[in-house]
Chain A
């Protein structure tokens, strides 16, 4: 059973022979290969380049997180004043007393962590890497609509990241990733590191806009013949909704950051109250972008989950249309709720309205979660790493979502605002949601991307380590946040000691888990078995081409003849595993048992 109807397919121009080779095939010398990659307009290579860059930045941001956790291991100063602190101290504030310098160091480290994780890791993670690679293939296109623009946005991303790292090398920024004014316009004027960091984020925004724009046009114009809107895989729906938010929200952060830079350079007073400006205006502008962007972060994660659950439970997605529309619904509502970040700084009426609107997001989100669970029900679930991550996602994301409710409720938010409860909440959503889906997606598509199978068991062990580590890290943060531990402090009262210790241990476990993942994946590249075209028996188009795909994605232009999840109608009741040679015969047996 194949996804493409070859009888009606027309062959591509036969003139370019090497386009039938794997996109990874190397031609010529090492130098010409590197040059090939640097100038490639192939969406698959660009996706891999994004994956590489994002993972490097994830590692840097993760190291910063570990440093933050180390600092918080003791109620008073641990690292800041001593080891790393001395480095920053000499660069930045040599005259400061050691406590002040230590606090300085701490502020810079969590800002570094937050800024990298948000702007350089989680926002581009799924769309720019996996999206770039699989969006065109899943809709049966040869490339994204604007391949050169695609390469350009990778370079813009790298340049933005370099600027951000530069501001760190010059001594770091201590404003927090939100750059709230007037603090961000009044500090550190001699060094302008804030300006460099803000400029970096501005540049990164461009990359995000260009990627989003490219995807929207690709989905609109390049779907294979026969693929209507409701024949698209749900991954496409998620990435498409994300792309719309990226295009519509990012310009607002662009103008905000421009005004912020102007404010720093010329003290123009838009945000500075001493000049008649309004700092809360900055927060409105900032969150008008940043709240929708929260969904830029989570929607692609949800999109991956839909794929993982359908493929690894081998079932038609329950309520396909509802899930698809829920993506659009979330995208729409995301623009209406930004005010919930300013309950403590706005009028009552406005807070009341924003609180009400915030609850609306729960509806499309719940639609998705319930549909995934309904899909799992009586599915022939294969417990492997991607499925494990889908389950982890469901667990963690649900906690993250539910803990958002007390934050959206005015009365409780007054107590919880800017406490560790918030820190735990957004980590459950962003990391427990998106990063988990991202890692799951990487495993799901790894055989397709690189043509190699990874070792399933160690990967599952790593996933379990990550799961335990994650909860150990962030559950104590809920508890101490509810008891009043404020965020962004380097020192704290002894009552919170045990929670912070547990949290730090959890972060070590996370680190171990992720390193094990990295090892497993790298190992598979070197020594993994060759992956078959369709190791999981998926029905979406990417599984209908070689692993790794050829340069033009398909040998023939695909014509779609069935839906992405038509397992019940496409896969015969007594499905022959030879059609989808699974690497592990035990899994085959499992799937059979389910039927």
Chain B
């Protein structure tokens, strides 16, 4: 139960900021009840998101049990440094998101906006790492840095003064039917990549949705929609973002660390 102090501004005063003039929906008895109800609803929604990912985790667990070698080989092909970098980025963004909510509640609007922007930037950075350093090399064979696993592999093409390298056979770590990774050791390794792509892509999609929610909060914050007496939207975007973070915290060790 959260209490809202709705009396710091005069709601009737047209010069007071938008959040101070906020009137709760006519079917709620009070703004505090509306806030509680909205949060309850959103928590329920978050539980459905967790259940959605539970399907992926189930598939992961079952196939890991059936094909432990494929899982070991697959996860050893992932570079934990990129996963780790992504984890740090997301943790940082969770912090800035929490800070944004706090700044909103305490009326520090400039700080709130900066924190929102940093959160969005972190989301972009996360996606960039994911797509440039992880997905792209695995699909095509082109990548930026030299991967330690590839020390003994022959480079065939270089571009941009050696910044991009192409390794024959490095790409092709695609899921299912598209798999064509010639030196794969395990017959069931395509299944690992299927689970990897489904899980991380679904997560990436959630990152994008979260960023849209936060961008919406940012735009509304320019119009002073949110403030100490009304911040439901900020809080909700924050909850969503924390969930996105939390799911990654599960995906990261499962995919990258447990060989």
Interface residues of A (CB under 8 A from B): 13, 136, 141-147, 209, 213-214, 216-217, 220-222, 247-248, 250-252, 254-256, 258-259, 262-263, 266-270, 272, 275-278, 281, 285, 552
Cα A106 to Cα B250 with chains together (Å): 46
Whether the Cβ atoms of A254 and B191 lie closer than 8 Å is no
Given contact pairs A217-B41, A255-B53, A267-B177, a sample of 4 additional A-B residue pairs in the complex whose CB atoms are under 8 Å apart: A248-B47, A262-B198, A269-B191, A275-B191
Cα A269 to Cα B67 with chains together (Å): 14
Q: A217-B37, A276-B188 are in contact. Are A251 and B52 (CB under 8 A)?
A: yes
Q: Which residue of A lies closest to B193 (CB)?
A: A268
Cα A534 to Cα B164 with chains together (Å): 78
Partner of A270, one of B28, B53, B59: B59
Whether the Cβ atoms of B41 and A248 lie closer than 8 Å is no
Q: In the complex, how many angstroms separate the beta carbon of B191 from the nearest chain A beta carbon?
A: 5
Whether the Cβ atoms of B48 and A259 lie closer than 8 Å is no
Q: A143-B27, A281-B59 are in contact. Are A209 and B53 (CB under 8 A)?
A: no
Whether the Cβ atoms of A217 and B44 lie closer than 8 Å is yes
B198 — which chain A residues lie within 8 A by C-beta? 258-259, 262, 268, 270
Residues 38 to 77 of chain B near chain A (Cβ within 8 Å): 38, 40-41, 44-45, 47-49, 51-56, 58-59, 62-63, 66-67
B195 on the A face (CB < 8 A): yes
B52 — which chain A residues lie within 8 A by C-beta? 251-252, 254-255
A270 — which chain B residues lie within 8 A by C-beta? 59, 191, 194-195, 198
Partner of A142, one of B26, B36, B41, B53: B26
Whether the Cβ atoms of A258 and B59 lie closer than 8 Å is no
Cα A259 to Cα B195 with chains together (Å): 10
Which one of A141, A256, A267, A281 has the highest number of Cβ atoms from chain B below 10 Å of its Cβ?
Answer: A267
Partner of A267, one of B49, B66, B176: B176
Q: In the complex, how many angstroms separate the beta carbon of A125 from the nearest chain B beta carbon?
A: 22
Which one of B25, B52, B63, B176 has the highest number of Cβ atoms from chain A below 10 Å of its Cβ?
Answer: B176
Q: Which residue of A lies closest to B58 (CB)?
A: A285
Whether the Cβ atoms of B44 and A247 lie closer than 8 Å is yes
B160 — which chain A residues lie within 8 A by C-beta? none
Whether the Cβ atoms of A213 and B45 lie closer than 8 Å is yes
Q: 5 closest A-B pairs (Cβ-Cβ)?
A: A255-B55, A267-B177, A268-B194, A268-B176, A251-B51
Q: In the complex, how many angstroms separate the beta carbon of B119 from the nearest chain A beta carbon?
A: 25
Cα A142 to Cα B27 with chains together (Å): 5
Cα A251 to Cα B37 with chains together (Å): 21
B183 on the A face (CB < 8 A): no
Q: In the complex, how many angstroms separate the beta carbon of A242 from the nearest chain B beta carbon?
A: 14
A262 — which chain B residues lie within 8 A by C-beta? 194, 198
Cα A276 to Cα B191 with chains together (Å): 7
Q: Which residue of A lies closest to B189 (CB)?
A: A276
Q: Which residue of B lies closest to A141 (CB)?
A: B27
Cα A54 to Cα B240 with chains together (Å): 33
A269 — which chain B residues lie within 8 A by C-beta? 175-177, 190-191, 194
B180 on the A face (CB < 8 A): no
B25 — which chain A residues lie within 8 A by C-beta? 143, 147
B195 — which chain A residues lie within 8 A by C-beta? 270
Whether the Cβ atoms of B44 and A266 lie closer than 8 Å is no
Q: A147-B25, A214-B41, A269-B177 are in contact. Are A248 and B51 (CB under 8 A)?
A: yes
A251 — which chain B residues lie within 8 A by C-beta? 48-49, 51-52, 54-55
B178 on the A face (CB < 8 A): yes
B33 on the A face (CB < 8 A): yes
Cα A147 to Cα B54 with chains together (Å): 30
Cα A214 to Cα B194 with chains together (Å): 35
B150 on the A face (CB < 8 A): no
Whether the Cβ atoms of A247 and B48 lie closer than 8 Å is yes
Q: A209-B48, A268-B175 are in contact. Are A276 and B55 (CB under 8 A)?
A: no
> What are 18 A-B pairs at a CB distance below 8 A?
A147-B27, A209-B48, A217-B37, A220-B37, A247-B44, A248-B48, A248-B51, A252-B51, A255-B53, A256-B55, A262-B194, A268-B190, A268-B197, A269-B176, A269-B194, A270-B194, A276-B190, A278-B66
Whether the Cβ atoms of B37 and A278 lie closer than 8 Å is no
B12 on the A face (CB < 8 A): no
Residues 139 to 190 of chain B near chain A (Cβ within 8 Å): 175-178, 187-188, 190
B128 on the A face (CB < 8 A): no
B37 — which chain A residues lie within 8 A by C-beta? 145, 217, 220-222
Q: In the complex, how many angstroms separate the beta carbon of A98 from the nearest chain B beta carbon?
A: 34
Cα A13 to Cα B27 with chains together (Å): 11
Q: Which residue of B lies closest to A244 (CB)?
A: B44
Cα A277 to Cα B191 with chains together (Å): 7
B202 on the A face (CB < 8 A): yes
Whether the Cβ atoms of B56 and A266 lie closer than 8 Å is no
B51 — which chain A residues lie within 8 A by C-beta? 248, 251-252, 255
Q: In the complex, how many angstroms separate the beta carbon of B103 from the nearest chain A beta carbon?
A: 27
Cα A222 to Cα B147 with chains together (Å): 58
Whether the Cβ atoms of B62 and A278 lie closer than 8 Å is yes
Whether the Cβ atoms of A221 and B33 lie closer than 8 Å is yes
Q: In the complex, how many angstroms separate the beta carbon of B233 from the nearest chain A beta carbon?
A: 14
A285 — which chain B residues lie within 8 A by C-beta? 55, 58
A221 — which chain B residues lie within 8 A by C-beta? 28, 33, 36-37, 40
Q: In the complex, how many angstroms separate the beta carbon of A20 from the nearest chain B beta carbon?
A: 14
B38 — which chain A residues lie within 8 A by C-beta? 145-146
Q: In the complex, how many angstroms separate the beta carbon of A493 from the nearest chain B beta carbon?
A: 41
Whether the Cβ atoms of A258 and B202 lie closer than 8 Å is yes
Q: In the complex, how many angstroms separate the beta carbon of A248 from the nearest chain B beta carbon?
A: 7
Cα A147 to Cα B40 with chains together (Å): 15
B26 — which chain A residues lie within 8 A by C-beta? 13, 142-143, 552
Cα A278 to Cα B59 with chains together (Å): 10
Q: Which residue of B lies closest to A272 (CB)?
A: B176
Q: In the complex, how many angstroms separate the beta carbon of B38 from the nearest chain A beta carbon?
A: 8
Q: A145-B37, A221-B37, A268-B176 are in contact. Are A275 and B55 (CB under 8 A)?
A: no
Q: Which residue of B lies closest to A246 (CB)?
A: B48
B202 — which chain A residues lie within 8 A by C-beta? 258
A276 — which chain B residues lie within 8 A by C-beta? 63, 67, 187-188, 190-191
Q: In the complex, how many angstroms separate the beta carbon of B39 from the nearest chain A beta carbon?
A: 9
Q: Which residue of A lies closest to B57 (CB)?
A: A255
Cα A146 to Cα B54 with chains together (Å): 27
Residues 185 to 214 of chain B near chain A (Cβ within 8 Å): 187-188, 190-191, 194-195, 197-198, 202
Q: B218-254 toward A: CB 8 Å interface, digit per residue (1/0)?
A: 0000000000000000000000000000000000000
